[in-house]
Amino acid sequence: MPDDTLFTLSGVTFGYEKTTQVLRGIDLTIPKGKITALIGPNGCGKTTVFALLTKIYKPRTGSILFEGKDLAQIGRREYARRVAAVHQYNTVPDDLTVRRLVSMGRTAYQSEVFSRASQEDRDAVDRALALTHTEAFAEREVKELSGGQMQRVWLALALAQTHETLLLDEITTYLDVHYQYEILDLIRSLNRECGTTVLMVLHDINQTMRYADNVVMMKEGAVLAAGETQSVITQELLQQTYGIRAEIADVQGKKICIFD
Amino acid sequence: MTKKKFPAALKVTLAFVVTAALLVVFMLLAANIGGIKVSFVQMLRGLFVEYDEDVAIIVQLRFPRIFVAILGGMAMAVAGVITQAVMKSPLADPGIIGITAGSQFVAVLVTAFAPALGYLSPLFSFAGGMLAFVIVYALSWKGGLSPVRLILVGIAVDALFTGLSTAFNQMTGGSYSGAASIVESNISLKDWEDVLTLAIYVAVGAVGCLFCLKKCNLLGLSDRLACSLGVNVARTRLEVSVVAVFLASAATAVVGSIGFLGLIVPHIARLIVGNDHKKLIPYSALLGALFFLVADTVGRWIAYPYEIGVNIIMSIVGGPLFIILLLRSKKYA
């Protein structure tokens, strides 16, 4: 069983200020090769879990293991070659071209001082641009892109970095329905074909039920429930977490969630 | 796409060529302003063919000043670009946030107490600059940087060190002319030794810049993003700052504190060549040299035979420009 676990969080607490605590003791395992959705109301600590998993912050107490190894002991560059992330808010110089931005996904593979791209780097960038259908505007500057195009560029940047593990924070937020499903389909096909482990923050319960193998439900800095999607998302739990009444129905063999 | 890309590359090349040409023109003009005037041909003959007394005087008196202006302008402008990358704020400038005041104070002390140190004085200024930088950084950085906080802390640090330099200068009756020239940022008495000192430190700084180009570009990304790309953001920031403070201090030790240069030159350079530091840093160096030389030359020429100090010119031109930049961009709000 431990072989299937990618991340193990035990007793993780964290706060941005000394007096506050955003995470109040998180115990969690994220399985390898699966799509895990992290859901919960705004301000429940999802993004903070992400910041800890991308080594931006260190937990105040408790430990995070990556393949059984303490995250703090893994070098940043080594880690970046195995785990890529798309954050919720990003800023870049607005005259950067898409291709140059996506090429920055290769940072952990290159010298820290000079950026001579190897053939492998160029191939990875081309592949990432093709997968996310962003080649058409690869030479454009990021300021010319729409929110939806930009979101795909962020995914391309992560894919140029690695296909192994993706941490995605609200990747569908700025997208219209068409692109939301397109990007989620893409993520699922990566998961099925390349065995990519995906941990993503989602807001939409129906998307969660459709795409996630596992769900972690958070509320107020703690994990409320975790496990297989089917068993975690129940009417009672939705009521408990979001304070809304919802019905889970079977339509053509697919579960959907209908809100009152 | 290629249709669009080509003019952009052309624009950058053109910017480099035009700026370099202007720099040469102003070097010749600057060499010819003053009591002695020589023709261009006479200058070339005097330089390369045979001894000419007038040309020799110009070489002894005016050339060092020109080269000090060029090297100092380069160092200040590049220090500005890098400080802006580190602080993630286009308002950061080693002059405005007190770094140069810190190095200036130490430079004044060294010039007064140990003038024999000569070549080493920029190293001491560097220590002063680092001290000021650490104070400003520590007080204005809280997970991110609020530009308002940066400017406020910068003003305080700048006032403190500028005050200390002036107080020291007045306590000693302003009799240490070397110290006074740094306080007043007067470059009229610079000689070839100053040029050599500055050239050595600027060369070292230039090598440092080569190591910074990629790092500065990575610092242009938001911290979280850079972090997940495998960049140690805190360490990168520190490494790059050392180069910025080094260049600012070297310039300050020889030239004194020149306000606004490190702010305005990078800003204009960004408009012309964009935010890629591989172009921005070299271009800012060139443009900084031109700005400084023009400011100094105008100061010498406008009220001849009286002179207006280059930092005065920079303040008069820089102050309003700074306000325009503030009003123009919503980023500073």
Q: How far is CA A233 from CA A25, A103, A247, in A?
A: 22, 39, 11
Task: Note whether B275 contacts A93, CB cutoff 8 Å.
Answer: yes
Q: Tell me, what's the pLDDT at A43?
A: 83
Task: Note whether A56 contacts B231, CB cutoff 8 Å.
Answer: no
Comparing CA positions, the residue from B288, B190, B187 lying closest to residue B247 is B288
CA distance linking residue A26 with residue A49, whole number of Å? 9
Does residue A119 surpass a pLDDT of 50?
A: yes
Per-residue pLDDT band at B144 (split at 50, 70, 90): low
In A104-161 the beta strands, taken as DSSP E runs, fall at none
Task: Note whether B222 contacts A114, CB cutoff 8 Å.
Answer: no
Task: Note whether A96 contacts B275, CB cutoff 8 Å.
Answer: yes
- Least confident window among B9-18, B141-150, B212-221: B141-150
Residues 6+ apart with CB under 8 A from B238: none
Does residue A8 surpass a pLDDT of 50?
A: yes
Asked if residue A187 belongs to a domain, the reply is yes
Query: Same structural domain for residues A156 and A167?
Result: no
A74 touches chain B (CB under 8 A): no
A13 touches chain B (CB under 8 A): no
B239 touches chain A (CB under 8 A): no
A91 touches chain B (CB under 8 A): yes
Query: Same structural domain for residues B301 and B249?
Result: yes
Residues 6+ apart with CB under 8 A from A30: A5, A6, A7, A8, A36, A197, A199, A214, A216
Total domains, chain B: 2
pLDDT tens digits for B75-127? 999 999 999 998 887 778 888 888 888 988 888 888 777 777 767 778 888 89
**Of residues B284 and A88, more confidently modeled:** B284
The pLDDT mean for chain B works out to: 84
Asked if residue A245 belongs to a domain, the reply is no
Tokens linked to B61: 């008196």
The pLDDT mean for chain A works out to: 89
A8 touches chain B (CB under 8 A): no
Asked if residue B64 belongs to a domain, the reply is no
**Of residues B112 and B263, more confidently modeled:** B263
pLDDT tens digits for B249-259? 888 888 877 77
**B212 to chain A: closest CA residue:** A113
Q: Are A179 and A148 in contact (CB under 8 A)?
A: yes
If DSSP codes are grouped into helix, strand and coil, which group holds residue A172? coil
Query: Same structural domain for residues A147 and A170?
Result: no
Asked if residue A238 belongs to a domain, the reply is no
Query: Same structural domain for residues A208 and A106?
Result: no
Domain that residue B297 falls in: 72-332
Q: Tell me, what's the pLDDT at B332?
A: 47
Query: Same structural domain for residues A96 and A196?
Result: no
Task: Note whether A112 contacts B229, CB cutoff 8 Å.
Answer: no
**B209 to chain A: closest CA residue:** A113
Task: Give the minimum alpha-carbon distance from B200 to chain A in angstroms, rounded to a whole number.
Answer: 23
Q: Are A84 and A158 in contact (CB under 8 A)?
A: yes
Query: Same structural domain for residues B96 and B236?
Result: yes
Asked if residue B111 belongs to a domain, the reply is yes
Total domains, chain A: 2
In chain A, % of residues over pLDDT 70: 99
**ipTM here:** 0.89
CA distance linking residue A223 with residue B325, whole number of Å? 48
pLDDT tens digits for A36-66? 999 988 888 888 998 899 988 889 999 999 9
Residue to mutate among B4, B221, B228, with most A CBs inside 10 A, is B228
Domain that residue A103 falls in: 90-161
**Of residues B53 and A185, more confidently modeled:** A185
Task: Give the minimum alpha-carbon distance from A90 to chain B in angstroms, rounded to a whole number.
Answer: 6
Comparing CA positions, the residue from A187, A183, A119, A129 lying closest to residue A157 is A129
Identify the CATH number of the domain in which residue B286 sits: 1.10.3470.10
CB pairs under 8 A between A and B: 78
Q: What is the DSSP letter of A116?
A: P
In chain B, % of residues over pLDDT 70: 90
Other CB atoms within a 10 A radius of the CB of residue B283 amount to 25
Taking contacts as CB-CB distances below 8 angstroms, the residues of chain A near B5 are 139
In B26-107 the beta strands, taken as DSSP E runs, fall at none
Does residue A115 surpass a pLDDT of 80?
A: no
Across the range A181-185, mean pLDDT stands at: 90
H-helix or E-strand containing A218? strand A214-219
Q: Are B83 and B99 in contact (CB under 8 A)?
A: yes
Task: Give the minimum alpha-carbon distance from B325 to chain A in angstroms, rounded to a whole number.
Answer: 18
Domain boundary among A110, A130, A161: A161
Task: Note whether A93 contacts B222, CB cutoff 8 Å.
Answer: no
Does residue B1 surpass a pLDDT of 50?
A: no
B234 touches chain A (CB under 8 A): no
Residues 6+ apart with CB under 8 A from A77: A108, B230
